[in-house]
């Protein structure tokens, strides 16, 4: 019996150590990390930051949005240690700032409408015409007789760049479209406007907004992962040169089992470190 209890205790201890292991890297560390950029990253970064700061009160981590363009600018100018982007870095950005990029998740970008909208599927050609302003009434798409309220992300948004490249075949959106500055703001706008159409990272779909099937492709992270939904992107952490010290530990933590769990909980597909 004693042997059984000893074996059980050993198993429980081993499990406890395994769970704690990713945070062990921060023991005895002090300092701060500032993070800014892509808004899709925020749920993952905040959960990681909270776990680290709970484990070690001598570490301070701030997480802000601003969009991919802001992430590049701030990390490049040394204003933050990590600049997040929802798109790959441009060669000009790498050359100008000497940035190192670390993709950590796959995200899909979904066309989204208000749940009250009866239109559930569109062709890619229809999506392109809607965002170009060529189709301006829902009745042209099989919906009710109502003007389409078009919402897009701001210039510099990684979500916008992915959407225009993959869904609009590098087309652009109508100048008359309403511009919002984050996935959260897009969700709010669509949820409050029954005639709205816009786009968000698939991880942001919930009961307040509904994803639209495009050319038979159903927007879900499972489909993004298996390739049957191809309006997708990678989410990146970017640093000025190779990350060092506390910043390097944070980047590695995002790739740990803890970080992968936070990534999955946010609705994304974790990617292993390269």
Residue 9 has pLDDT above 90, yes or no: no
* R_g (Cα) of the chain, nearest Å: 21
**Residues 150, 135: Cα–Cα separation, whole Å:** 10
Angle in degrees, 0-180, between the axes of helices 257-265 and 245-255, rounded to the nearest 10: 60
Across the range 54-69, mean pLDDT stands at 96
Tell me the average pLDDT of the chain.
92
Element (H, E) at 243: none
Both tokens of residue 202?
A: 């698939």
The vertex-58 CA angle with 54 and 59, nearest 5°, equals 70
Which CATH superfamily hosts domain 107-232?
A: Periplasmic binding protein-like II (3.40.190.10)
Say if residue 14's pLDDT is above 70: no
Task: pLDDT band for 34, please (50, 70, 90 cuts).
Answer: very high
- Which of 236, 238, 218, 220 lies closest to 159, judged by CA? 236
User: pLDDT, tens digit, for every residue of 45-59?
Assistant: 999 999 999 999 999
Q: What angle do CA 92, 93, 98 make, to 5 degrees?
A: 110
Tokens of 11: 């198993």
Number of H helices, E strands in the chain: 10, 12
Q: Do 2-105+234-270 and 107-232 have matching folds?
A: yes
Return phi, psi of residue 237, to 5°: -105, 135
State how far the Cα of 188 lies from the Cα of 46, in Å rounded to an integer: 21
Average pLDDT over residues 118-128: 98
Inform me whether the pLDDT recorded for 172 exceeds 50: yes
**Once rounded to an integer, what is the mean pLDDT over residues 191-214?**
95
pLDDT at 20 over 80: no
Length of the chain: 274
pLDDT for position 221: 85
What average pLDDT does this structure show over 109-133?
A: 97
In the chain, where are the structural domains located? 2-105+234-270, 107-232
pLDDT in tens, 229-258: 999 999 999 999 999 999 999 999 999 999
4 band by pLDDT with thresholds 50, 70 and 90: very low
Domain 2-105+234-270 fold: D-Maltodextrin-Binding Protein; domain 2 (3.40.190)
The mean per-residue pLDDT over the stretch 164-179 comes to 95
Confidence (pLDDT) at 204: 87
Q: Averaged over 190-195, what is the pLDDT?
A: 98
Tell me the pLDDT tens digit for each residue of 80-100. Answer: 999 999 999 999 999 999 999
């Amino acid at each position: 019996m004693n042997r059984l209890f000893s074996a059980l205790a050993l198993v429980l201890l081993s499990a406890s150590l395994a769970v704690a292991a990713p945070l062990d890297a921060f023991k005895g560390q002090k300092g701060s990390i500032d993070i800014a950029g892509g808004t899709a990253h925020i749920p993952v970064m905040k959960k990681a930051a909270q776990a680290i700061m709970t484990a070690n009160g001598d570490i301070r981590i701030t997480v802000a949005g601003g969009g991919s363009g802001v992430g590049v600018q701030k990390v490049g100018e040394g204003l933050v240690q990590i600049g997040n982007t929802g798109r790959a870095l441009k060669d000009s950005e790498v050359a100008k700032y000497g940035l190192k990029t670390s993709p950590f998740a796959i995200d899909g970008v979904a066309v989204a409408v208000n749940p009250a909208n009866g239109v559930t599927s569109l062709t890619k050609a229809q999506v392109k015409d809607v965002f170009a302003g060529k189709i301006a009434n829902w009745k042209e798409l099989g919906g009710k007789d109502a003007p389409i309220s078009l919402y897009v992300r701001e210039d510099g948004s990684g979500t916008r760049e992915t959407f225009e490249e993959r869904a609009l075949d590098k087309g652009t959106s109508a100048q008359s479209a309403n511009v919002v500055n984050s996935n959260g703001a897009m969700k709010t706008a669509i949820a409050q406007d029954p005639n709205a159409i816009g786009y968000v990272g698939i991880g942001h779909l919930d009961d307040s907004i509904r994803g639209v099937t495009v050319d038979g492709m159903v927007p879900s992270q499972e489909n993004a992962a298996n390739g049957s939904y191809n309006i997708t992107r990678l989410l990146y952490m970017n640093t000025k040169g190779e990350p060092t010290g506390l910043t390097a530990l944070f980047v590695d933590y995002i790739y740990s089992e803890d970080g992968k769990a936070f990534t999955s909980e946010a609705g994304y597909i974790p990617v292993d470190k390269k």
